[in-house]
Amino acid sequence: MARVDLDGNPIRPLTICMIGAGGFIGSHLCEKLMSETPHKVLALDVYNDKIRHLLDPEDLPWNGRIQFHRINIKHDSRLEGLIKMSDLTINLAAICTPADYNTRPLDTIYSNFIDALPVVKYCSENNKRLIHFSTCEVYGKTIGCFLPKDSPLRQDPDYYVLKEDSSPCIFGPIEKQRWSYACAKQLIERLIYAEGAENGLEFTIVRPFNWIGPRMDFIPGIDGPSEGVPRVLACFSNALLRREQLKLVDGGQSQRTFVYIKDAIEAVLLMIENPTRANGHIFNVGNPNNEVTVRQLAEMMTEIYVKVSGEPALEVPTVDISSKEFYGEGYDDSDKRIPDMTIINKQLGWNPKTSLWDLLDSTLTYQHKTYAEAIKKTMTKAFASS
């Protein structure tokens, strides 16, 4: 039976140029496209570890529908040709690790704005559709965080729920370099929007709210850089795997929402296959039902990891640490990030399904297994060479 879009029209097979296909989101999106659609993917990235299972062996049912191109988009003349060959370009490439925003602000700005410019330009000049991945960080701080601590308005959703078409983007002062990422991401959004208005670029902008699941970045030295500080959930995972205390930055009072990667990928597939409903829109993709403080997240992850690993929790599982000590000078943060889901629900009929407990259980089970296998491999190698 032919696959149809939300309006009942047949979905024609597409060629998709996916930049950053080898990362966490890209690997799950490639899996979905290979297993459930007839679409072809030109997978661009510097590494392919997370999609290697899709590329080999040759007897896979989708053999020939995914091609890996080892490309750094900063300086590769092949990029425009690959975009020209495609019906749609999806740009996932970014530096998106909070610790880097302070310590590598130039790299952060270049990666998220300057390096994305050619992609937008080639799509616009060649009349190719673009799905660009931005971030929930473009919203910055909520209006509510500027109100007095005891103000009842802090509980009013109008002051903290983030809406694509009406919420202001409020950043900290220039010396707080933590906002370099959000600022670069907002500027590329504005450029894409302007290309749409002036030159007719067909675009969709995705604002992810903490997508979580297997293969997420990263366990330092195993599936990521040996140095560096990953995002909060990966930080907590690392501490649990190594039986270390979970560090609560500034007491862990910030509030966040988390959405399961497989739910989020369903939303992206709807955007890919329903261009008339998705074009010209910015979509929040998150799960407002999975809201917790960072402290509550640490407690929940500790409880789940005890179940997954069979190991008892540490006597004192958490420790408070200042943001200056953890991230360095120039750090700042947003208090709450709760997405409004009206637009994506109206345009694409999408709603997330997976509870916070279930997505953490799935993620920690995968990470515990991966870590155990990596340790075993290291010990085997050490034993063989001794």
Q: Is 110 annotated as catalytic?
A: no
Per-residue burial over 205-239, b if 16 or more Cβ lie within 10 Å, else e, is: bbbbbbbbbbbbbbbbebbbeeeebbbbbbbbbbb
Residue 256 β-bridge partners: 292
SS3 219: coil
C-alpha torsion angle, residues 327, 328, 334, 335 (rounded to 10): 80
Rounded Cα–Cα distance for residues 386 and 381 (Å): 9
Please give the structure tokens belonging to residue 75.
Answer: 């300086």
Radius of gyration of the chain from Cα atoms? 21
Three-state SS sequence of 157-205: HHHCEECCCCCCCECCCCCCHHHHHHHHHHHHHHHHHHHHHHHCCCEEE
Please give the structure tokens belonging to residue 99.
Answer: 């610790």
Catalytic residue among 122, 181, 327, 371: 181
Q: CB count, 10 Å around CB of 335?
A: 14
Catalytic residues: 181
